[in-house]
Amino acid sequence: MIEIDGLTKRYGDKTAVDQLSFVVEPGVVTGFLGPNGAGKSTTMRMIAGLDRPTAGTVRVNGKHYPGAAAPMAELGILLDARSVHPGLSARSNLLALARTAGIGRRRVDEVIELAGLGEVAGSRAGGFSLGMGQRLGVAAALLGRPQTVVLDEPVNGLDPDGVRWIRLLLKSLAAEGRTVLVSSHLMSEMAQTATQLVVLGRGKLITEASVEDFTDQATGTGVLVRTPEPVRLGQLLAAPGITVVNDGTDRLRVAGITAEQIGITAWRAQLPVYELTPTHASLEEAFMQVTKDSVEYHAGAIR
């Protein structure tokens, strides 16, 4: 479990993380989302004790991580595929980390196989592609079989096979009861992997919700209704918490009520219905909606 309370990090005048509080529960994969510069990586570095918070606290499995007796049993972290020494082989890189916790060569070879690095384990890490470096970084995070795993953009640079590997790996880690926090900009991948979300914007918490609740509250989630009586049906459906939008045709977009309930309402009023289609915002649409005000770096329009 990761408990973050009032976490703040300032670099000079710039506030990278601002009064952040959230909890990452064990047993599920939690996605960590936010536009570039939202403070995700800074938060992850503070979780690992690499950056010192300006204010607030981070607890990993209930403990202050830098004070943990066996850090590798508590937390495994991938911060950057380039957190390796290019002059050392993949195996030496892992072995050097393993030694600090008395982890033996057998476990090192195990994670090398697990990460699919068997054939290049003896090669200098400096010659690795981004994807290989990423696999090495994930292998390092798993070395100690940690209770909590934090991965910053693990699928970055991975081939489709590697992306699938990460997805299955994260789910199996969560199924073992571990805490899994993972950031990614690939929303479709996140939608398939994560069940909980923490969304940041400009260093602040935007929302903390399940993937389902997050997409439910986004525009675009609802029911598309086609009826020759859009005005009458719209009046019947209108209620607090329910939004009905008629675009002047025979279509209604209804949110806040299920297709079943709309069908029953129409049937009771004896109104014909041609179409009744649940629609759902994708995670990407939902993400764009909640973060559009907090995007730090907008791309210009293509001219």
Partner 1 sequence: MSAITRPGLTPAPMPPTQTQTQPPAPATVAGPVTQVRVVRAEWTKLLALRSTRWCALAAAVLITGLGAAIAASGTAYHVSAGNSAAKGVSASLLGLLFAQLVVGVVGVLAFSGEYGTGMIRATLAVVPARLPVLWAKLIVLAGVVLPVTMLCAVAEFFTATAINAARGGSVLSLTDPGVLRTVVGSSLYLTVVVIIGLAFGALLRKTAAGLSVFAAVFFVIPIVVAALPQKITGFAPYLPSNAGGVLWGSPLGSAQALSPWTGFGCLCGYAAVLTAAAAWRLRRGDA
Q: Near partner 1 by CB under 8 A, which window of 211-219, 227-235, 238-246, 293-301?
A: 211-219
Q: Is 272 in the site for partner 1 (CB under 8 A)?
A: no
Please say which residue, 19 or 217, places its beta carbon nearer to partner 1. 217
> Which one among 13, 14, 62, 67 touches partner 1, defined by CB under 8 A?
67
CA distance 262 to 293: 33
Q: Is the dihedral of CA 182, 155, 157, 32 positive or negative?
A: negative
- Residues near partner 1 (CB under 8 A), total: 73
**Taking a C-beta distance cutoff of 8 angstroms, is the pair 17, 9 a contact?**
yes
Q: Is the dihedral of CA 282, 285, 287, 290 positive or negative?
A: negative
Q: Is 32 in the site for partner 1 (CB under 8 A)?
A: no
Q: Is 40 in the site for partner 1 (CB under 8 A)?
A: no
144 closest CA partner among 98, 182, 105: 98
Element counts in the chain: helices (H) and strands (E): 11, 13
Q: Near partner 1 by CB under 8 A, which window of 67-75, 112-120, 200-208, 228-236?
A: 67-75
> 46: Cβ–Cβ under 8 A, 6 or more apart, which residues?
7, 9, 17, 52, 53, 58
Please say which residue, 86 or 272, places its beta carbon nearer to partner 1. 86
Q: Is 200 in the site for partner 1 (CB under 8 A)?
A: no
Please say which residue, 135 or 178, places its beta carbon nearer to partner 1. 178
State which of positions 100-139 bind partner 1 (CB under 8 A).
100-104, 107
CA distance 289 to 214: 11
User: CB of 223: closest distance to partner 1 in angstroms?
Assistant: 8
**Taking a C-beta distance cutoff of 8 angstroms, is the pair 76, 173 a contact?**
no
Q: Is 23 in the site for partner 1 (CB under 8 A)?
A: no
Helix (H) or strand (E) holding 181: strand 179-183
Instruction: Give the strand pairing for 204-210 and 196-201.
Output: antiparallel
> Which one among 212, 228, 231, 269 touches partner 1, defined by CB under 8 A?
212
CA distance 62 to 42: 20
Q: Is 4 in the site for partner 1 (CB under 8 A)?
A: no
Tokens describing residue 80? 């950057």
Please say which residue, 34 or 222, places its beta carbon nearer to partner 1. 222
Q: Which CA distances in Å does 232 have to 40, 209, 270, 271, 291?
A: 48, 36, 11, 9, 36
Tokens describing residue 150? 């934090």
> Which one among 56, 59, 88, 116 touches partner 1, defined by CB under 8 A?
88
Q: Is 246 in the site for partner 1 (CB under 8 A)?
A: no
Please say which residue, 178 or 202, places its beta carbon nearer to partner 1. 178
Please say which residue, 12 or 248, places its beta carbon nearer to partner 1. 12
> Which one among 20, 38, 58, 77 touches partner 1, defined by CB under 8 A?
77
Please say which residue, 107 or 253, places its beta carbon nearer to partner 1. 107
Please say which residue, 127 or 228, places its beta carbon nearer to partner 1. 127
- Would you tell me how many other CB atoms lie within 10 Å of the CB of residue 146? 22
State which of positions 136-195 bind partner 1 (CB under 8 A).
140, 143-147, 175-178, 188, 191-195
